[in-house]
Chain A
Amino acid sequence: MPIILDHVNYIYGEDGPLAVKALDDICLQIPDGQFVGIIGHTGSGKSTLVQHMNGLLKATSGHIYFGGEDIYDKDFRMKKLRSKVGLVFQYPEHQLFEIDVFSDVCFGPKNLGMDQKEAELKAFDALRKVGLPAELYYQSPFELSGGQKRRAAIAGVLAMAPEVLILDEPTAGLDPKGRDEILHQIKELQIQTGMTILLVSHSMEDVAEYVDRIIVMNKGKVMYDDVPQKVFSHYRELEEVGLAAPQVTYILHALKDRGFQVDENATTTDEAVETILRSLGK
């Protein structure tokens, strides 16, 4: 179901000495099945934004609609929203607590009122989707490696079978290999299930290859909201706010300036290779 944010504002520590406007008049529409990247510098409001989408933070003003219903209505059931919009926090492995991985993944579905058998089926399915080796299912989550813990934690949210999956910096603290694996798995998941995915990140490189749309946040505002090619064409403005376009954008622009016939809108390395080869007549 689509999510619509209508003039959403949020102020942290409203009556303290250090009140900060974390979200400033946000209007967004997230349609079904889209893979959206939310990019922004530290403190740009991107994590705050996604916490609004499943009702963990309540907007200071403005409205949020999920599937046409106002989530701030009195008779709206937040629990339903949270089962439909799964949020994977930053460093999700810090929320693991059960004695083994499998029971931890069952925690979510059981909270939704599923019986033991149904919850186990969902957990099994989720663990398979995140690609965790089966021999780890009954180990203590604290014995796994960093990347494995992260997968187990993502499975914990996935097991609730949400329609929208939000991941807040799912690659933070992982090595390049682990990062690529996780992002790949997420893309795979989106293709298989067609679920809406919101990927929060501060790295353009991370999202460029995978997403259909990029929302750039800066100082609590939406700075750009467009397809990756269009967003990256503003690479000079992005630099000014401490972000950067993917490296290939810079290379292609530099080549173009020196008279090569390349398409500077290519966003992924593969596309870049193709256009460079073509310009060389190969």
Chain B
Amino acid sequence: MLRDITLGQYYQTESVIHRLDPRVKLGGTLLYIISVFLFRNFLGYGVAAIFLATVIGLSRVPFRFIVKGMKAIVFLLLITVVFNLFLTPGTELVSVWKLTVTVEGLRTAVTMAVRLTMLIIGSSLMTLTTTPNNLTDGMESMMKPFKVFHVPVHEVAMIMSIALRFIPILLEETDKIMKAQIARGADFETGNIIKRARALVPILVPLFISAFRRANDLAMAMEARCYRGGEGRTKMKPLIYQRRDRLGYLCIFVYLVVSVAAGRL
């Protein structure tokens, strides 16, 4: 049940995309997201879709697996579409009772749905092909210039990597606690909203306790290994650009130019 959430999860396999430098993937994802917001027509989305499909193909992550992770945000998508569909003023298309669908509303709704879907697929592709450790290494390295402004870059990166690392652990823990309470006759599926909210207490209390316990243990383990922040800390595997990374940057640049040119025709 809870294991089905693939958002922020790593999919282990061998592929060109997996081997790319995390900075390329981070930068690429950022540029891709920006590009999706720049399009004014559907041609741009077409180019972006082709690019995305190529990357998915190269990454060897099954499309089924990506879609499974999308289930969690279907609700959000639905709300966006419904609101845009009915609340955009403009030329009337169909009118049922007090609800009016306008041409502009339809257009915005479809654009928003496509945009959101592409955003989420694109960014989940990054987390699916990059281990959390690599991801934070990349982030830390990319944010280094901000150190000038006294931004605690290393600390932020460490917090991120721990947070990401805890997602699967806490999901597993929730699964376990849920099962244990179901075995004690707990019922999470029936009853009205108040009853269901109350039914969550036997899960949330143990989950919070376990999260604090784990955080405590982790802090202790880090301290025992003399962790004291990023100052003077070296890396076992420093990030170094390879030829494929330069090629990756080139591909992204070409994509950006082509798609934006097509999208703003």
Contacts and interface: CB of A to CB of B under 8 A. Distances in A.
A96 B177 CA distance: 10
Given A92-B180, A96-B206, A82 B12 contact: no
A17 B12 contact: yes
A94 interface: yes
A50 to B, nearest CB: 10
A220 interface: no
A237 to B, nearest CB: 32
A142 interface: yes
Interface in A38-97: 51, 54, 56, 79, 82-83, 86-87, 89, 92, 94-97
A96 to B, nearest CB: 7
Contacts, number: 61
B129 to A, nearest CB: 12
Nearest to B13: A17
Interface stretch (A104-112, A211-219, A223-231, A273-281): A104-112
B185 interface: yes
B178 to A, nearest CB: 9
Contacts of B181: 95
Nearest to A93: B206
A94 B206 contact: yes
B155 interface: no
Nearest to A56: B179
Contacts of A87: 183
Interface string A134-178: 000000001000000000000011001000000000000000000
Contacts of A133: none
B205 interface: yes
A97 B186 contact: no
Identify the 4 closest CB pairs spanning chains A and B, nearest first: A111-B185, A97-B205, A95-B180, A108-B184
